[in-house]
Structure 1
Amino acid sequence: MVHSKLVNLLKQKKPSIGGWVNLCDPGVIVIMAHAGYDWLLIDNEHHPFTESQIQTMILASKETNITPIVRVRGNDASHIKWVLDTGAGGIMVPMLESVNDVKKAISYSKYPPTGNRGYSPLRATDFLAFKQEYEQTANEEVLLICQIEQVSAVDEIEEIVKLQVDGVWIGQADLSFSMGYKGNMKHPDVQKAVEKVISAANKHNKPWGTTTANQEDFKKRINQGALLLISGSDSGFITSAAYERVQQCRRIIEVNENRVKI
């Protein structure tokens, strides 16, 4: 069994670098793994990955020794079970609104006695090649990251971080909508809610993380104690590089046209 790079970093309380995966191509996994990312978030909440594509992305992650975390479509027992049985290094569960929601996620993703996850990890164990080890370590090494992005979840954060979850993720965009600020993540009220989550997580030694907009933001979150951080996405890298390249080429064409006119 290849132990999770992300789990090893969390055990050492070291920050990790994650990347967002929106595009359905295993080549993205390979590129980002060799770039040095520690883990990748395969976003199945907002993007149309098929089950076959998720399986392929997880296999590509295993081959390149990068931890695949799948953001599942919702707090659904059958979907969570399938993703974990396919071999994901963990899941991120979105739109959790309460302690009870989090308890359900624990039940769906952890084996007894912690939870009630059904047992059939054929692909997760390379078809039982390391069955015994997986049985012994899955509850600790297959991560459950709970997304805090609703006001109601922020209100209950002190109780949530006491539960047997492996980390909490602050979804600042949806939190801003939940609070009535519709994408204004910098609003003081939104940031106050973010600080409340951070404070509770740090108090109870619960790993936490969020997406960072730039290097300054990344540094700020590191200094606040974040261990789970995303910096960049596959689609973002392609978009910014494409725009920059086209603009460079347009400038060359314009300079050449002006020279011809003269």
Structure 2
Amino acid sequence: MASNSLRERLASGDELVGTFQITASPMVAETIGETDLDFVVLDQEHGPLTAETTASLTMGVDNTDTSAVVRVRSNDPPEIQRALDLGAEGVQIPQIETAEDARTAVDAARFSPVGERGFSMYVRAGEYIGSESYTEDQNEQTTVIVHVEGERGVENIDEILSVDGIDVIFLGPYDLSQSLGVPGQINHERVTSLMEDVCEKAADANRVVGTHADDPETARRWLDAGAQYVTLSVELPTLHDAFDSAYHDAVADE
């Protein structure tokens, strides 16, 4: 298990790079954890992951120094609560478009007096026995990441940035490209210009920005632009490209 929480590392200014996992394999999760990546996002939104498989994946990651984050399917309090009860260190919440959306996410992810997360400490996050400091510890250690991935969310970014309890504003370039009428063109000037504007506003508000990159060069670009939390690719295309490259290297001289 990671010695310092993601939240602590973000607060100290560390640049964190992770990846997405959509397969329901604990061995894949553990393998990712054995790399130098800082975190892995277990993707319930775009993958087939259930509560049961997510629990197994977090157990696999917890055997390593990498942190487990869960991207839930929607901004729904039971979804968020369940992911955190299963032991995820952080939760990523999609399709945040307004300050009200952001407050709903924070309320679901944090216990009173900060939020309204449903309370049971007899869960994996509480090591099944709980403690007197359980809610305080969870509030201090849980990383709340909200996805701003549409034009409306960008239009409301000042209000979203003002919501307390958010640790990362995560810019989703693919959904943003779609909302701007250039689906899939994540390097289109309309997309990158808006993302750069959000990075600047977040810096002015002393808030952390995250985003996704398909390759190391793009990841470095956004880290240089001020992002602190970057997902680098997804495990399946990474696996595909590694084997494809290895095959062609092996037969190159034939």
CA distance in 1, matches of 2:163, 2:30: 34
**Residue aligning to 1:117:** 117
CA distance in 2, matches of 1:161, 1:50: 31
Asked if 1:126 corresponds to 2:127, the answer is yes
Asked if 1:227 corresponds to 2:228, the answer is yes
Moved over 6 A (4+): none
Higher deviation after alignment, 152-161 or 212-221:
212-221
**Residue aligning to 2:189:** 188
Post-superposition CA distance 1:88-145 (Å, at most 9, x none): 101100111211111111111111122111101321011125x234322212311110
How far 1:7 moved relative to its partner? 2.3
Q: Which residue identity is paired with 1:139?
A: N
Q: Which runs of 5+ in 2 are unaligned?
A: none
TM-score (norm. length: structure 1): 0.90
**Residue aligning to 1:172:** 173
Radius of gyration: which is bigger?
A: 1
Q: Which residue identity is paired with 1:178?
A: S
**Residue aligning to 1:143:** 143
Q: Which runs of 5+ in 1 are unaligned?
A: 256-262
**Residue aligning to 1:217:** 218
SS in 1 for 2:34: helix
Report matched runs for 1:1-262 at 5 Å: 4-121=4-121, 122-128=123-129, 131-164=131-164, 165-248=166-249, 251=252, 255=254
**Residue aligning to 1:260:** none
TM-score (norm. length: structure 2): 0.92
**Does the CA contact (< 8 Å) of 1:5 and 1:66 recur in 2?**
no
Q: Which residue identity is paired with 1:177?
A: Q
CA distance in 2, matches of 1:11, 1:72: 23
Post-superposition CA distance 1:188-217 (Å, at most 9, x none): 211121112111211111111111233322
How far 1:183 moved relative to its partner? 1.3
Aligned residues: 252
SS in 1 for 2:183: coil
**Does the CA contact (< 8 Å) of 2:5 and 2:89 recur in 1?**
no
How far 1:3 moved relative to its partner? 5.2
